Chains A and B, each alone.
Chain A
Amino acid sequence: MDSDKGILGLLGPILRNVILVPLCALRALPSSGWSFSRSSRTSRCLRPPLYSRPHLIIFARCSATAGFVRSLWNNLVISGLAVALSLIVGVPAAYALGRYQFKGREDIAFTFLSFRFAPEILRHHSSLSDLSKTGPDR
């Protein structure tokens, strides 16, 4: 069965398992490991020796912080609403652009794409201008 696949069919899984997976792991592990190791240290030992006793209580303290719980709640509510809004607006828009023939269809599709070209701070600036006049603190 394997002989039918040819040399590439045989080498593919070997390349993937022996070279690519360890390479990805090598790339990802140091940064993740650093984050994990630093997250269990107090600020006083941010540059610890090779081994220092981890303080796992920091995780418990962080999860019990009122600011963290509030920010997590805000995050979930805002992202849920953003996703729902983009589904409600985006799917019918994409359906109309994909299925119906009308004048300027490609131009509208390109306009959608063109918002991605703009530097993000440009969009933030307009939001900031609006919020400074009618923002949540007014």
Chain B
Amino acid sequence: MVILVLAGLRSLPKSPYESALIDGGSAWFVYWNLTLPMLAPVLLIALVFRLMTSLQEFGIIFATTKGGPGDRTLSVAVAAYNEAFPYYNLSGAIPMLLFLWFIIYVICFILIGFWKKAQKAASGAV
């Protein structure tokens, strides 16, 4: 997240900031009206990537708690692993992962829609 946003911040054009400085815009005004709208597409892309990786998280949960105690930290990926390998119930595991895929698809589809709007706004088309 930090790396993506940092790269986005460094790629922002300087001229709007110079104009705001000449017009006497405050730091808050510059942040709220220039930086955030221009950075919104980068933020949304970072959000999409972060959300995708965290929804598919398996390694940390499996290595630490294995979904326990009980099912308090059970994620879909770990539940699917438990179905697929210890019980060899692949036909129970794959639908779970396909559901997860569908959910991630829908969330990312919505976020990409916002990203397109934000990109248009950042380029001044709206």
Contact = CB atoms under 8 A, between A and B. Distances in A.
Interface string A36-62: 101111110010000000010011011
Interface string B41-72: 00100110011001101011001110111011
Contacts of A137: 68-69
Interface residues of A, number: 52
A79 to B, nearest CB: 4
Contact of B94 (A35, A82, A128, A136): A35
Interface size class of B (residues with CB under 8 A): 35 or more
B9 A78 contact: no
B75 A78 contact: yes
Q: Kindly name the residue among B67, B88, B95 whose own CB sees the greatest number of chain A CB atoms within 10 A.
A: B95
Interface string B30-41: 010001000000
B21 to A, nearest CB: 13
Contact of B91 (A43, A68, A93): A43
A99 to B, nearest CB: 7
Interface stretch (A9-17, A21-29, A84-92): A84-92
Question: Majority SS of interface residues in chain B?
Answer: helix
B101 to A, nearest CB: 9
A124 B1 contact: no
Given A36-B98, A75-B76, A131-B64, A94 B2 contact: yes
A58 B95 contact: yes
A86 B59 CA distance: 19
A131 B73 CA distance: 12
A137 B94 CA distance: 29
Contact of A97 (B2, B67, B103): B2
5 closest Cβ contacts across the A-B interface? A98-B9, A90-B1, A94-B5, A79-B54, A124-B63
Given A71-B76, A91-B43, 7 more contacts: A71-B79, A72-B99, A72-B103, A76-B55, A82-B50, A124-B60, A136-B69
22 contacts: A43-B88, A43-B90, A43-B91, A61-B92, A68-B96, A68-B99, A70-B74, A71-B74, A71-B78, A74-B71, A74-B74, A79-B54, A79-B55, A83-B47, A83-B54, A87-B1, A95-B35, A98-B9, A121-B59, A121-B63, A125-B63, A127-B60
